Amino acid sequence: MNAATVIALAAAISAALFAQQEPGSAPPKARTMAEVIAASGPADWRRIDEANTIYVELESGRVIIELAPAFAPQHVANIKALAREGYYDGVWVVRSQDNYVVQWADPDGTREIKTGRRTLPAEFSRAMAPDLPFTRLPDADGYAPQVGFSNSFPAARDPTAGRAWLAHCYGMVGAGRDNDADSGGGTELYVVNGHAPRHLDRNVTLVGRVVKGIELLTSLPRGTLPMGYYEKTEQRIRIVSIRVAADVPAADRTPVEVMRTDTPTFEALIESRRNRREEWFKVQAGHVELCNVPLPTR
Amino acid sequence: MNAATVIALAAAISAALFAQQEPGSAPPKARTMAEVIAASGPADWRRIDEANTIYVELESGRVIIELAPAFAPQHVANIKALAREGYYDGVWVVRSQDNYVVQWADPDGTREIKTGRRTLPAEFSRAMAPDLPFTRLPDADGYAPQVGFSNSFPAARDPTAGRAWLAHCYGMVGAGRDNDADSGGGTELYVVNGHAPRHLDRNVTLVGRVVKGIELLTSLPRGTLPMGYYEKTEQRIRIVSIRVAADVPAADRTPVEVMRTDTPTFEALIESRRNRREEWFKVQAGHVELCNVPLPTR
C-alpha cells in the first residue's frame, strides 16, 4: 500500500468518524463521565495490586505507581528487589524536561546493588496470549494496529506480529536506558509529564503507571540543561524512599482503587469521552484517542 | 459507513503505516531533527509577529504568546486592547489542572473594561481560503479530516464543510468561556499543559500558542479544588502585566524566531520525527501525530 492509498484511507476513515457526530446519531443511553462513574458499582473497580505497587516518597508527599508484571515481569521483579534493598532511598530526581519526562536516578551511577540487577534484557513488548486482557478501543490509532486497555493500563497490539506492549500515555512509568536495548533495568525510572511520546513505544521498557500523586512530579521546576537535566545539584529533588506497598504497615498504606477496563461501565466511560454530553460542549469529537481515555482512580 | 467498516479501515491504515517501517523503506535522505535544524537557513525561520504577540510577565519571568489573528481576529484584537488598557495587570493564575490547562482571570470578574469587550462571538473555526496557509500532515488523525500547520500553528480542516480551525496541542492558548458559545472573549486565557485535549477543538476559541517560557506555567503547583482551581487566594500566582510585544521598548523585547512550516526543511523535520534515526531508537514509529510534531523556536 503506497502513501497515496494511505492518505485516501485516512480521508475515508476521517469522514466516517465525522459522520458519526451527525445530530440524532448519538447512542440512546448517552451519559456524561460523571454519570457513568456515579452509576458504577463495586465490581467496576479493583483495589490496586499492592504486591506490585510502589510508594515513591518525596518530601512533598507520596507518588503511587502500580507496576505491570504482565508486560515487564523481570523489570517489575527487579524494581521491587531494588526497593526492598533500599537502593532508591536517597536517589534524586535529576531530570525534569517540559512536555516529556521527569526522571530519577543515582546521579553518579555508583550506588551499590545487592540483590537486584543493574541491567536486564529489554521487555519492550511481549507475546499476545489468551490470558492477557485486552479491551480494544475501536477508534483508529496511528501508532499501532490495535490499541486498548489491559488491566487498567493503556496498551497496543500487533496481531500480525503477535505482540503486545504498553503505550506511552501521560503518567506512564518507564525504565531509562542507554543506547543499548538491554542497558536498562529500573535503576532509573521516568514518568511521562506531557503529550504522549508514543514514538517511544517498543523502544523502552514501560513498567507501570502513576495512579496517585503525579502532580508532585509534573509540577517540579524544569531543568535547564539539555534533556531537562538540572544544572545544579541543589536543584535536584530527593527521593526519600521507595517501598513496595505490600511491605508497608497497613495503617500507612494509601487505599486506591482503579476502574476496571473490562466492563460495560468502562465501555460507557469511553463513549462518554468520545462524544461529550456536558452542556458546555457544542461539537462532539466522534473520536477518542487512546491517551485521552481517563483511567479513573478513587 | 458503519462502525465495522471504520474498524476495518483503521486496521488497513494501521497495517499500511506499519508497512512503512520495513527495513530499506526509509527515505534516501533520512536525517535526525538535530541535523535538519543544523542545516536550516535563514529562510526557514521567521521572527514572530510582535504586533500580534503578548508578553505575560510573571514574577518568575516572561511567557511569550504569539497570537493567531488569521483564526481568531476579533479575539486577538480584543486581547491586545485589554492588554493595552492594563486590564490584565494584576490578574491571577487561578487554576492549574494537571494534564489539562492552566488559566488566569480576574477571580471576581468585576474588573472594569474600558476599550476592550468582555465577550465576543465565538471564533471556533473559520472558512477555508486560498490565502490561509496549510501544510498538510499526511499522517492519519482521528479528530479531523485533515491536520497540518498554518503559519507555525497546529491546525485542522474539514474540506467538506469548508472550515479550518486551530488544534489543542500542548502549549496552545485559548479563551475560556461559560456554557454559552459566545460567553468568552479573552478576559480569561488558558494554556494546555498536558496531553492534547483535542475534544476541545471547535468548542472554544484558540487564540495562539506559547513560543517561550511555557515551563513557568506548566510547573506551577496544581490546584486542589475541582478543575484545578486553587483553594486559597494566597496560592494564586500574580500576572504582573501583559503587554503587546510591539509596544515594549526594543531593548526590553525578547527576540524569538519560529521555524516556518511551509518549507522543505519543515517537511524534513516532520519526517525526522516520524521515523527517528537517532542511534537510541530501535523501532521507528512510521507515524507522527499532529501534536507530536515540534514547532521549533530559537
Do A76 and A69 form a contact (C-beta atoms < 8 A)? yes
Chain B residues whose CB is inside 8 A of the A169 CB are 195
Is the confidence at residue B109, as pLDDT, over 80? yes
A282/B215 CB distance under 8 A: no
Interatomic CA distance for residues A198 and A221, integer angstroms: 24
Interatomic CA distance for residues B101 and B228, integer angstroms: 8
B10/A283 CB distance under 8 A: no
ipTM: 0.90
Closest chain A C-alpha to B84 CA, distance in angstroms:
30
Closest chain A C-alpha to B298 CA, distance in angstroms:
14
C-alpha cell belonging to residue B8: 476495518
Closest chain B C-alpha to A177 CA, distance in angstroms:
9
- Out of A6, A214, A285, closest to residue B199 by CB: A285
Do A263 and A135 form a contact (C-beta atoms < 8 A)? no
pTM of the model: 0.91
Query: What stretches of A123-275 adopt beta strand conformation (E)?
Result: 126-127, 135-136, 146-150, 153-158, 163-166, 172-175, 189-192, 205-212, 237-244, 257-259
Q: How many degrees, rounded to 5, is the angle at CA A151 between CA A150 and CA A153?
A: 65
Interatomic CA distance for residues B195 and B216, integer angstroms: 18
Interatomic CA distance for residues B40 and B265, integer angstroms: 7
Chain B residues whose CB is inside 8 A of the A231 CB are none
Handedness of CA A168, B271, B202, A193 (dihedral sign): positive
Q: Is residue B21 packed enough to be buried (19+ CB in 10 Å), middle (13-18) or exposed (0-12)?
A: middle
Q: How many degrees, rounded to 5, is the angle at CA B71 between CA B70 and CA B76?
A: 80
Q: Which residue of B has its CA nearest to A100?
A: B194
Closest chain A C-alpha to B229 CA, distance in angstroms:
14
C-beta atoms surrounding B296 within 10 Å: 18
Q: Which residue of B has its CA nearest to A199?
A: B285
Give the residue among A96, A90, A233 at the shortest CA–CA distance from A82: A90
pLDDT by residue for chain A (298 residues), tens digit each?
344 443 344 444 444 443 334 444 444 468 999 999 999 999 999 999 999 999 999 999 999 999 999 999 999 999 999 999 999 999 999 999 999 999 999 999 899 999 999 999 999 999 999 999 999 999 999 999 999 999 999 999 999 999 999 999 999 999 999 999 999 999 999 999 999 999 999 999 999 999 999 999 999 999 999 999 999 999 999 999 999 999 999 999 999 999 999 999 999 999 999 999 999 999 999 999 999 999 999 9
- Out of A96, A138, A218, closest to residue B98 by CB: A218
Measured CA to CA in angstroms, residue B190 lies from A84, A120, B210 at distances of 43, 43, 11
Residue A17, C-beta contacts closer than 8 angstroms, at least 6 positions apart: A139, A140, A286, A287, B6, B142
Q: Which residue of B has its CA nearest to A140?
A: B10
> pLDDT tens digits, residue range B173-209?
999 999 999 999 999 999 999 999 999 999 999 999 9
Residue position matching grid coordinates 551499590: A112
B16/A1 CB distance under 8 A: yes
What 3-state class would DSSP assign to B26?
coil
Q: Which residue of A has its CA nearest to B222?
A: A215
Do B200 and A273 form a contact (C-beta atoms < 8 A)? no
Interatomic CA distance for residues A173 and B126, integer angstroms: 40
B291/A195 CB distance under 8 A: yes
What 3-state class would DSSP assign to B43?
helix
- Out of B5, B19, B196, closest to residue A195 by CB: B196
Q: What is the DSSP letter of B217?
A: H
Give the residue among B83, B122, B125, B124 at the shortest CA–CA distance from B104: B83
Return the number of CB contacts < 8 Å for A and B.
Answer: 193
B138/A3 CB distance under 8 A: yes
Give the residue among B62, B195, B224 at the shortest CA–CA distance from A216: B224
Count CA within 13 A, CB hemisphere, residue B66: 21
Give the residue among A9, A197, A71 at the shortest CA–CA distance from B11: A9
Chain B residues whose CB is inside 8 A of the A7 CB are 138
Residue position matching grid coordinates 479544588: B225
Interatomic CA distance for residues A67 and A75, integer angstroms: 9
The pLDDT score that the predictor gives to residue A15 is 40
User: Which residues sit opposite A102 in a β-bridge?
Assistant: A96, A191
> Do the strands A237-244 and A92-96 form a parallel or antiparallel pair, or are they unpaired?
antiparallel
Q: Which residue of A has its CA nearest to B224?
A: A215
Measured CA to CA in angstroms, residue A101 lies from A178, A198, A218, B6 at distances of 15, 12, 9, 34
Give the residue among A119, A123, A126 at the shortest CA–CA distance from A185: A119
What 3-state class would DSSP assign to A3?
helix
Handedness of CA A148, A155, A101, B143 (dihedral sign): negative
Give the residue among B71, B132, B139, B163 at the shortest CA–CA distance from B261: B132
Q: Which residue of B has its CA nearest to A272?
A: B199
Residue type, A219: S
Phi and psi angles of residue A262, each rounded to the nearest 5 degrees, phi first: -120, 35
Measured CA to CA in angstroms, residue A176 lies from A19, A223, A228 at distances of 42, 17, 14
Flag the least confident range among B14-23, B77-86, B168-177, B217-226: B14-23
Q: Which of A2, A9, A237 to mutate to test the interface with B (most CBs of B within 10 A)?
A: A9
> pLDDT tens digits, residue range B51-107?
999 999 999 999 999 999 999 999 999 999 999 999 999 999 999 999 999 999 999
What 3-state class would DSSP assign to B74?
helix
Q: Which residue of A has its CA nearest to B199?
A: A285
Closest chain B C-alpha to A13 CA, distance in angstroms:
6
Closest chain A C-alpha to B145 CA, distance in angstroms:
5
Chain B residues whose CB is inside 8 A of the A1 CB are 12, 15-16, 19
Chain B residues whose CB is inside 8 A of the A291 CB are 195
